[in-house]
Amino acid sequence: MKKNNFINNIIALMFSQVIIKITGFIYKIYLTNKQGFGDTGNAIYSAGFQVYAILLTLSSIGVPNAISKMVSSKFAIGDYKGAYRILKIAVMLFSFIGFIASIFLYFFAKPISNNLLQIPESELSLQLLAPSIFLVSVASVFRGYFNGAGNIKTTAKSQNLEQIAKTIITVIVVEIIAIISDFNTTFMAAAATAGTTVATIFSTIYLYILYKKNKKNIWGSIRNNNFNNEKCRLIIKNILLVTIPISFSAFLSVATKSVDSLTVVRILKTFMGTEESKRLYGILSGKIDTLIILPLSFNIALSTTLVPTISGLIAKGRKDEANNKIRLSMLISLLIGFPCTAFMMIYSEEILNILFPNAMEGAYMLQISSIEIISLVLIQTVNGALQGIGKAKECVKALLIGFIIKIILNVFLLSVKEIGIYGAIISSNICHLVTLIICLIKLNKESNLFSEIKIDIIKVVIATGVMSLVSYFCYTYMLSFFNFQIALVITAIISILIYFMLIILLKLFPKNIILAKT
């Protein structure tokens, strides 16, 4: 197998995420500013999507990392036939699981929307999302195989195709439904979710076509295989042993955020009415959460690349190299998280005014929520490292504790009238911080990286602080010549350039780690 540079794989996925997020923002901004949609439409769309995400997680979200971990371990020792058998059996297994999840969501959409979410308008959205669970389950296995084989770019291309298709289809379908339904919010929200299902079809077909094209190369490697075949029952057992803890970690991550969809409207409406509570939840889920998870979309390249890379290095007995990759990944996460937090805190109002001119509320929500970005990106990376070294159960324990904290704090804080919607934001900050601390303690026991990471944190804080000060004075000066939109864009560009200069001056990237081959 061709050796791949670790940093090149990260860059490939990050570039993919830039494309995904730009196109994703286009349709998110379009929907929020669309007549008849707005914050209420976001509430319907997001509530249905959170339930869909939970079932999707159980059937497929943890699958790519689990399959890539198993496949990379096989490739590391030259067992290409074993890797192929994992792919074949995993496709059958998760196709069945995904099919069951799709059927469940379709037929139980009404009781879920009425009783669980208490947003009856989300029923149709759930039904239209149901088929995509099966499709993503199949696509996830292929992505895991390609990742484990070191072909990260295939995953990146399939994700690009899915997001671009989703954006184009969503805009077209929503426009048609808006005209037909006379801007009915429920039907428009359902149309937006239909775009997700159609885009998933394109992505799954694309992955299968690429697999068929590569089948000759796969079989060429298998014919030269000298390893004994593992029994099907043993492979299924191993797949489940690896997949269950990783999938459960992914499930808890999604479920923690889904707590808001189950509690915010339910509790807030007791003292401010249903419509106002829906509107506030729409602001939080449709705008604030969209901005907060933006850095995670870039950082996911690290966790996706870490799992097969660390697994392969551990299989070869190269633990020191594995630790270097973990340190590098955590450094990149810090470099992503800190400036994003600072920028969103300083320019929260301006950001919302530019992106959502027809629904610009939520600046203070964004300021408070931005604090959790640092915890979220680090949790994502640390979990990828723990999964790679075979300690996925430790991720589950930490995330479970955070999940319980989130539920307790949501119920308590949302009930306090003076705190209201901010209770959900405060609880998210606390639960993610606790989860991160537990995960870091577990990882340090395995890799003893704290001494080196402390130095990295200090340097990143210095770089972020200097950049923030220069950014603030630059923006204030620019307002003398331009409107706030142009001033903010110019300030952002200057801030990025200054940040990169500071990274170089502070010597944050050791060359021996960056250029090391896996």
Cα 177 to Cα 196: distance, rounded to the nearest angstrom: 16
Q: Which amino acid is at 150?
A: G
Closest by Cα among 494, 492, 491, 493 to 477: 491
Nearest to 468 by CA among 330, 332, 347, 294: 347
Contact assessment for residue 28 and residue 196, using Cβ atoms and an 8 Å cutoff: no
Residue 339 has pLDDT above 50, yes or no: yes
What does each C-alpha distance from 281 to 81, 116, 185, 477 come to in angstroms?
A: 50, 15, 15, 36
Q: Is 497 among the domain residues?
A: yes
* Residue 126 within a domain: yes
Lookup result for tokens 């689990």? 66
- Whether 101 maps to a domain, the answer reads yes
What pLDDT is recorded for position 132? 85
pLDDT for the residue numbered 205: 87
Is residue 132 included in any domain, yes or no? yes
- What does the pLDDT look like over 427-443, one tens digit per residue? 999 999 999 999 888 88
- Give dist(CA 367, CA 477) in Å, integer: 23
The model's pLDDT over 285-329, given as tens digits with 9 standing for 90+, comes to 778 887 888 887 777 766 667 666 777 777 777 777 777 788 888
Inform me whether the pLDDT recorded for 138 exceeds 80. yes
For the chain, helix (H) and strand (E) counts, in that order, are 22, 0
pTM equals: 0.71
Judged against a pLDDT cut of 60, whether residue 1 lies above it is answered with: no
Q: What is the mean pLDDT of the chain?
A: 80
Task: Judge whether 160 lies within some domain.
Answer: yes
pLDDT at res. 357: 78
What whole-number distance in Å separates Cα of residue 88 and Cα of residue 145? 10
pLDDT score of 10: 66
- Asked if residue 1 belongs to a domain, the reply is no
pLDDT for 368 equals: 92
Model confidence pLDDT, tens digit, residues 448-494:
777 677 888 889 999 999 999 999 999 998 888 888 889 999 999 99
Residue at 34 is within a domain: yes
Q: What is the pLDDT of residue 216?
A: 66
Q: Is the pLDDT of residue 145 over 90?
A: no
As a whole-number percent, the residues of the chain with pLDDT over 70 amount to 85
What is the pLDDT, as a whole number, of residue 3?
Answer: 45
Summarize pLDDT for 3-16 with one digit per residue, the tens: 445 666 666 666 76
C-alpha distances in Å from residue 155, one per residue of 159, 246, 253, 328, 414:
6, 19, 22, 22, 40
Per the structure, the complete domain to which residue 238 belongs is given by 6-514
Is the pLDDT assigned to residue 118 strictly greater than 90? no
Residue 6: what pLDDT?
A: 62
pLDDT digits 0-9 by tens, 166-179: 788 888 888 888 88
Give tens-digit pLDDT for 236-282. Answer: 887 777 777 777 777 777 677 778 878 888 888 888 888 888 888 88
Instruction: Enumerate the β-bridge partners of residue 517.
Output: 5
Phi, psi of 389 (to 5 degrees): -90, 10
Of 196-210, 262-276, 502-516, the range with the lowest mean pLDDT is 502-516
Within a domain: residue 202? yes
Domain count, the chain: 1
Give the ranges where 34-151 is alpha helix by DSSP (H): 38-56, 63-76, 80-107, 109-111, 123-148
CB 295 within 8 A of CB 342: no
